[in-house]
């Protein structure tokens, strides 16, 4: 027997977009996995070979060689943006978990409605409103993934801007004599703030999972109480 | 208090603690180590940096840039681990909840169906 249950009202933007994306969690997980695979492939091929080329020469030679400039530039450019791609891949995996948990919570609510439909009207309890925590975990997950996307964009801009310009412009030996080292300062500071920013993105995604689990646990408890009171 | 309820009471400590540790890592990285690295490498030529003497501010900066990341990264990962532990605690309560719910459902079933099986 199919029960006719009233659908929940459509949430406002951007939560409507999140809810419409929720069933796509396997695809999002696959995308995340693929990004990490791409990171591995780039690390294994391009980055690894550039590092091999760079360190195959003795220190004095590699630092003075213009022929090795490309290898050095490649190393620094890739090391600036690739970790951000890798973490975006991991973040998409966590986003998929968030969305899977959100889908479970939604299905539990639907099940509760179906059961409630079959309960005698005199004993039927009013369905509770969707808890605010649902919007909180959706918001937290979106915030996390947006931070990770922002770090990738920042990484790409820095890698193909300042980092490329700096390392392409001269050999390491030449740079050692630079009087204006402002670009080196920018480059040296990048990993110290971009890395922790990536982890902040991950923290928001973990927070989303934590809150989504509280929604599921809360729903299970509420439904148990509802059944007990019949 | 049952074991499961203790887990539900304890997990927020790990979740909030994890978030705080990661945030501390970000603040220290972005506002202490990052600017120090920027000023150390960006405002001094290699010759100046290499000729810095013991006790000078340049050597202090180098110590900051070199030593803090050694504990900052593990601190951030401790935050991640705390989150994961908290999530694990939350998950550990679900099997018992489902088990109880099954029992409750079994008891409530005749009332829902009006006695018919």
**Tens-digit pLDDT profile for residues B24-75:** 999 999 999 999 999 999 999 999 999 999 999 999 999 999 999 999 999 9
Which SS3 state, helix, strand or coil, does residue A180 take? coil
DSSP string, A95-106: HHHHHHHHHHHH
Reference A164, options A87, A76, A47; nearest CA is: A76
B3-15 pLDDT tens trace: 557 888 999 999 9
Q: Between vectors from CA A101 to CA A205 and to CA A152, what angle results, nearest 5°?
A: 30
| Whether pLDDT at B116 is above 90 | no
Residue A161, φ and ψ in degrees, nearest 5: -110, -100
Show which of residues 62-91 on chain B sit within 8 Å of chain A, judged by CB atoms. Answer: 65, 69, 72-73, 76, 79-80, 83-84, 86-87, 90-91
Q: What is the pLDDT of residue B2?
A: 60
Report which DSSP code applies to A66.
S
- Radius of gyration of chain A measured on its C-alpha atoms: 26
Confirm or reject contact between B58 and chain A (CB < 8 A): no
| Number of domains chain B is built from | 1
Residue B43, φ and ψ in degrees, nearest 5: -115, 0
Residue A3: pLDDT band (50, 70, 90) is low
> Hey, are the CB atoms on B42 and A185 less than 8 Å from each other?
yes
Taking the domains of chain A in order of start, what are their residue ranges?
21-228
| Whether pLDDT at A2 is above 70 | no
> Hey, are the CB atoms on A195 and B101 less than 8 Å from each other?
no
Identify whether the C-beta of residue B14 lies closer than 8 Å to the C-beta of residue B89. Answer: yes
Q: What is the pLDDT of residue A111?
A: 86
Residue B59 domain boundaries: 3-113
Give me A174's structure tokens. Answer: 């030449």
Q: What is the pLDDT of residue B4?
A: 58
Q: How far apart are CA A205 and CA A119, in angstroms?
A: 38
**Closest-CA residue in chain B for A108?**
B98
Q: How far apart are CA A191 and CA A189, in angstroms?
A: 6
Confirm or reject contact between B20 and chain A (CB < 8 A): no
Terminal Cα distance for chain B, rounded: 37
A50-93 pLDDT tens trace: 999 999 999 999 999 888 999 999 999 999 999 999 999 999 99
* Interface predicted TM-score (ipTM) over 0.95: no
**Closest-CA residue in chain A for B41?**
A185
How near does any CA of chain B get to the CA of A97, in Å? 12
Q: How far apart are CA A128 and CA A106, in angstroms?
A: 13
| Whether pLDDT at A175 is above 70 | yes
B104 → closest Cβ in A123, A179, A224: A224
A15-52 pLDDT tens trace: 788 888 888 999 999 999 999 999 999 999 999 999 99
Q: What is the pLDDT of residue B113?
A: 72
**Closest-CA residue in chain A for B42?**
A185
For residue A220, list chain B residues with Cβ-Cβ distance below 8 A: 94, 97-98, 101
């Amino acid at each position: 027997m199919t029960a006719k249950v009233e659908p929940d009202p459509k949430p406002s933007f951007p939560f409507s977009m999140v809810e419409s994306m929720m069933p796509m969690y396997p695809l999002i997980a696959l995308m995340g996995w693929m990004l990490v695979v791409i990171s591995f492939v780039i690390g294994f091929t391009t980055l690894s070979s550039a590092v091999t080329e760079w360190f195959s020469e003795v220190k004095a030679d590699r630092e003075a060689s213009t022929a090795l400039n490309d290898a050095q530039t490649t190393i620094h450019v890739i090391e600036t943006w690739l970790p951000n791609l890798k973490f975006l891949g991991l973040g998409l995996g966590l986003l998929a978990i968030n969305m899977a948990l959100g889908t479970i919570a939604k299905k539990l609510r639907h099940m509760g409605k179906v059961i409630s439909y079959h309960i005698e009207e005199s004993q039927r309890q009013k369905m509770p409103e969707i808890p605010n925590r649902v919007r909180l975990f959706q918001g937290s997950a979106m915030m996390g993934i947006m931070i990770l996307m922002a770090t990738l964009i920042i990484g790409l801009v820095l890698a193909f801007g300042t980092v490329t310009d700096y390392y392409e412009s001269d050999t390491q030996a030449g740079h050692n004599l630079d009087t204006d080292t402002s670009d080196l300062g920018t480059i040296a500071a990048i990993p110290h703030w971009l890395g922790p920013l990536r982890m902040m993105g991950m923290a928001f995604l973990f927070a989303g999972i934590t809150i989504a689990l509280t929604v599921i646990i809360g729903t299970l408890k509420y439904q148990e109480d509802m059944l007990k009171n019949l | 208090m049952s074991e499961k309820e203790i887990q539900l009471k304890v997990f927020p400590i790990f979740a909030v603690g994890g978030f705080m540790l990661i945030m501390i890592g970000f603040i220290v990285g972005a506002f202490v180590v990052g600017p120090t690295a920027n000023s150390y490498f960006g405002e001094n030529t290699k010759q100046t940096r290499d000729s810095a003497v013991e006790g000078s501010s340049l050597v202090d900066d180098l110590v900051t840039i070199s030593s803090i990341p050694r504990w900052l990264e593990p601190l951030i990962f401790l935050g991640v681990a705390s989150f994961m532990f908290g999530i694990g605690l939350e998950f550990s309560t679900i099997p018992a909840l489902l088990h109880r719910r099954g029992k409750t459902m079994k008891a409530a079933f005749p009332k829902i169906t009006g006695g018919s099986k």
